[in-house]
Amino acid sequence: MLILGIETSCDETAAAVVGSDGWVHSSVVSSQVELHRPLGGVVPEIASRAHTRLILPVIRGALGAAGCGLDDVGGIAVTRGPGLVGALLVGVQTAKSLGYGLRRPVVGVHHLVGHMSAPLLRDAGVAGSIEHPYVALVVSGGHTSLISVEAEGTTRTLGRTRDDAAGEALDKGAKILGMGYPGGPAIEKAAAAYDGPPAEPFPRGMRRRSILDFSFSGLKTALMERVRAIGPSIDERTRAALSLAYEEAVVDSLVTKAIEGCSRIGVPRLVVCGGVAANLRLREEMSSRAGRAGIAVLIPPPRYCTDNAAMIALAGARMIALGVDEVFDLAASPYLPLPGELSRASGPAPSRSRRTGA
């Protein structure tokens, strides 16, 4: 069965056609970066209006790239939350309208469940699989969560950010350094190019091993104070040195907590997903340190780390296979909780954002 996926949770308008076996027939993503760059971040109203303008051309593009038409689609999956409510509404209403007109089932997918499904996508260069249980680090501009996926549809949050998401911290760090938007790629590029003496290390938040939560607000403050101390004469080389130290602090926090989470519950499998998982330093550091700890790491290719509709289609395919159809009562939910989530304190596992999209 072919599933049409639709993703509009934040500032990417995306559509994809994916088989129920995970094969990606097409994946089209229209970025809004150029719209939001002059404003230094995502403006929800501008994002919603852009989605309204782009959604149908993007869907047509995905169908065309897959060599199929709407009549060939067996079901429709759409991100229903969490995210920016206006942006979510565009995708949800489009999916419901198509489903009603085509008489096809429509299902709403949790955005984080979509990201955690990304490693199972398959195409000419990727053949992914993952065994339960596993730990997922979902890390993006709007989310930083460490989640135990104990079985299909059963999750437990081991830790989450207490303040800013990691992607948000990278974006704001670049803004403090005067490097523009989007900040994550700017920080990564500057850090990768720096070959001078290291800057003084930045502090790591929530350092205690007993706590699996994350914190990045103090890191932002430390960068701001250091930039203020240098003054307006800061040069590009200094910016690059600070970028490297700042990126290292973010990556170290993510890697340390993820490995500790796996060790804590005795699960030697880790999935790293979300937009920040496209960061090369994170990918290399996680693979290296987790490997030394005996933990197998699976990270989707960068094209499936950032927001896309292929992951939404695959996550929705499982729901459609179970006979779920929400075409009449599906609603956007900007603060949607994870489905099937267990309490942190229940069961055998121990107890222990600005961009609201992903």
Map out the domains of the chain with their CATH numbers: 2-125+305-341 (3.30.420.40), 129-300 (3.30.420.40)
Confidence of residue 153 (pLDDT cuts 50, 70, 90): confident
Checking DSSP bridges between strand 75-81 and strand 2-7, what pairing results, if any? Answer: parallel
Q: What is the CA radius of gyration of the chain?
A: 20
Q: Tokens in use for 168? A: 């948000």
Q: What is the mean pLDDT of residues 50-75?
A: 98
- 280 with 192: CB under 8 angstroms? yes
- Check pLDDT > 80 for residue 330: yes
pLDDT digits (tens, 9 = 90+) for 275-312: 999 999 999 999 999 999 999 999 999 999 999 999 99
Q: What is the mean pLDDT of residues 176-197?
A: 92
Q: What pLDDT was estimated at residue 344?
A: 54
Q: pLDDT tens for residues 205-264?
A: 888 777 899 999 999 999 999 999 999 889 999 999 999 999 999 999 999 999 999 999
Q: Find how far residue 260's CA is from the centre of its chain.
A: 21
Strands (E), the chain: 2-7, 12-19, 24-31, 75-81, 106-110, 122-123, 126-127, 134-139, 144-151, 154-160, 269-273, 296-298, 341-342
Question: What pLDDT was estimated at residue 355?
Answer: 37
Please report the beta strands in 190-322, taking only residues with DSSP state E, as ranges in sequence order.
269-273, 296-298
Average pLDDT for the chain: 92
pLDDT range class, residue 357, cuts 50, 70, 90? very low
pLDDT value of position 61 = 98
pTM of the model: 0.91
Mean pLDDT over 185-200 rounds to 94
pLDDT at 96 over 60: yes
If pLDDT is split at 50, 70 and 90, which confidence band does 41 have?
A: confident
Collapsing DSSP states into helix, strand and coil, what is residue 322? Answer: coil
H/E stretch holding 320 reads helix 310-321
Examine the pLDDT at 358 and tell me if it is beyond 70. no
